[in-house]
């Protein structure tokens, strides 16, 4: 079922927690609400779950308006950041809780709980209390408890933030697989951009209660709507400059660092004026120093990350800049050396200063 948020708004006194948020999540898709803490993402999720009453706007699931429906009638599967497992109930009883509330007969209940225990690899742990389970196991019990009731929508509140990095990716993919298998429309709250990019179909970036941009991971990374989004998603270098000419979609910018480049912008910018250019680390190519139309940087540090190597450099005016290279290319680089940096024209984005 689709989830539609219409002009959803929440204010506390004069403070605006969520400002007129309108989003449509198509059937079976996962939306990530991404932003720093205090951006309103959790408030939004809790309004959809029915724990917080919106100040204005409406929430629709399928063709039902659920804005005024109490939480226990909303039929949502919810996985909490803290998992919120009932500490006095065993893993199996936690999973069975929602089925009991729905009056599912004992035989069917036991069969559905057993199926969930098998599906989430919890066999042998059914009789354990939550405190006797590891973090990863608790998380799987929380997911099983949310899915066993066959909810119409799935809500995830930072479900991986209490797992260690290694477990996080595998669990994320597993959850995304289950979500697709059940065809559940879901909302996923996170402050971790890589988590959002790896499992969500659509990402909504929020800041101070306002939606900044909504789109696929690649749209948001490659064409950020504003400087905040560009900075929040992925690594970014910002170089100030002056717009000197406009040619259709392209803007010619004279960077203060010394070169003139062509850039695109999602904002409407006019020559002549100050602007700030975004160069992703992979939008800079390493060349021989002294090549025309390049910047020159001194290598400050080389950070090896496996598949990619980040090279941190200092420009003549003191600006720090990071570019990425393959491990092979990085072997020719030594700290202290001077290198030419060639910005890749098609990948430069411009924002108002």
Partner 1 sequence: MTQAAQSGVNGRPLWRSALVPVLLFAPCVLVYAIFFIWPQASLLGLSASDKAGLTLDHYGRFAGDSYYWDILGRTLGLGLAVTVITLLLGLPTAYVLARSQSRWAGFLLLLTTFPLLVSAVVRSFGWMVLFFKDGLVSKALQSLGLASGPVQTMYTMPGVIIALAQVLLPLMVLTLHGVFKSIDRDLEYAAMSLGARPSVALWLVTLRLARGGIVAGSLLVFSLAISAFATPSLVGGARANVMATAIYEQTVELLDWPFGATLATILLVTVLGLSLAYGALIEGREKMEARP
Q: Which residues bind partner 1 (CB under 8 A)?
A: 49-51, 70-78, 80, 82, 84-88, 90, 93, 97-98, 101-102, 129, 145-146, 149, 155
| Burial 149-173, CB ≥16 within 10 A → b, else e | bebbbbbbbbbbeebeeeebeebbe
Residue 257 CB, nearest distance to partner 1 (Å)? 50
Cβ–Cβ under 8 Å, residues 277 and 230: no
Instruction: Find out whether 145 and 95 touch, Cβ atoms under 8 Å.
Output: yes
| Cα Rg of the chain (Å, integer) | 24
Least gap, CB of 301 to partner 1 (angstroms):
40
Decide whether 102 or 121 has the Cβ nearer to partner 1.
102
Q: For partner 1, which is the closer residue by CB, 46 or 207? A: 46
Q: Which is nearer to partner 1, 46 or 349 (CB)?
A: 46
- Specify the residue, 32 or 45, whose C-beta has the smaller distance to partner 1: 45
- Give, rounded to a whole angstrom, the gap between the first and last alpha carbons of the chain: 42
DSSP letter string over 67-79?
Answer: TTS-GGGS-EEEE
Is residue 285 within 8 Å of 344, Cβ to Cβ? yes
State which residue, 88 or 166, has the beta carbon closest to partner 1: 88
Q: Which is nearer to partner 1, 74 or 227 (CB)?
A: 74
Task: Locate all alpha helices (DSSP H) within 53-150, ordered by sequence.
Answer: 91-101, 106-119, 135-147
Q: How far is the CB of 35 from partner 1 (least distance, A)?
A: 21
Least distance (Å) from partner 1 to the CB of residue 350? Answer: 44
What residues contact residue 28 under an 8 Å CB cut-off, 6+ apart?
Answer: 180, 183, 184, 185
Q: What are φ and ψ of residue 22, in 5° steps?
A: -125, 120
User: Whose structure tokens read 């929040």?
Assistant: 232
Eight-class DSSP state of 317: T
Q: Which is nearer to partner 1, 85 or 205 (CB)?
A: 85
Shortest distance in whole angstroms from residue 291 CB to partner 1: 58
**Least distance from partner 1 to the Cβ atom of residue 48, Å:** 11
User: Mapping DSSP to helix (H, G, I), strand (E, B) and coil, where does residue 186 land?
Assistant: strand
Based on CB atoms, which residue is closest to partner 1, 107 or 165? 107
Min dist. Cβ of residue 49 to partner 1 (A) = 6
Q: CB 175 → partner 1: shortest distance, Å?
A: 17
Structure tokens at 290: 């002294």
Nearer to partner 1, 46 or 280 (CB): 46
Residue 137 three-state SS: helix
> Strands of 338-343's sheet, edge to edge?
284-287, 338-343, 295-304, 309-315, 320-325
CB of 50 to partner 1, least distance (A): 7
Specify the DSSP class assigned to residue 313.
E
Other CB atoms within 10 A of residue 338 CB: 12
């Amino acid at each position: 079922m689709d989830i539609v948020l219409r002009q959803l708004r929440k204010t506390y006194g004069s403070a605006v927690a969520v400002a007129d948020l309108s989003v449509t999540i198509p059937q079976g898709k996962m939306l990530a609400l991404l932003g720093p803490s205090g951006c309103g993402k959790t408030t939004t999720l809790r309004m959809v779950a029915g724990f917080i009453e919106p100040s204005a706007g409406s929430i629709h699931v399928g063709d039902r308006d659920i804005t005024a429906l109490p939480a226990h009638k909303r039929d949502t599967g919810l996985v909490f950041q803290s998992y919120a497992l009932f500490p006095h109930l065993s893993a199996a009883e936690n999973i069975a809780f929602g089925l009991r509330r729905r009056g599912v007969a004992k035989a069917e209940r036991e069969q559905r709980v057993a199926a969930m225990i098998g599906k989430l690899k919890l066999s042998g742990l059914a009789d354990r209390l939550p405190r006797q389970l590891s973090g990863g196991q608790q998380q799987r019990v929380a997911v099983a408890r949310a899915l066993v009731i066959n909810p119409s929508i799935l809500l995830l509140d930072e479900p991986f933030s209490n797992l260690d990095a290694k477990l996080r990716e595998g669990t994320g993919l597993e959850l995304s697989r289950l979500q697709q298998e059940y065809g559940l429309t879901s909302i996923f709250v996170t402050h971790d951009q890589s988590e959002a990019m790896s499992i969500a179909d659509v990402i909504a970036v929020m800041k101070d209660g306002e939606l900044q941009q909504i789109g696929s991971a690649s749209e948001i990374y490659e064409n950020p709507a504003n400087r905040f989004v560009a900075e929040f998603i992925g690594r970014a270098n910002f170089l100030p400059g002056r717009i000197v000419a406009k040619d259709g979609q392209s803007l010619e910018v004279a960077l203060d660092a010394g070169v003139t480049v062509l850039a695109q912008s999602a904002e409407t910018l006019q020559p002549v004026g100050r602007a700030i250019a975004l160069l992703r680390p992979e939008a800079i190519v390493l060349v021989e120093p002294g090549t025309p139309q390049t910047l020159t940087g001194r290598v400050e540090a080389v950070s090896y990350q496996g598949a990619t190597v980040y090279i941190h450099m200092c420009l003549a005016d003191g600006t720090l800049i990071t570019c990425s290279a393959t491990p092979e290319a990085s072997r020719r680089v030594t700290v202290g050396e001077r290198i030419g940096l060639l910005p890749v024209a098609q990948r430069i984005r411009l924002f108002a200063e």
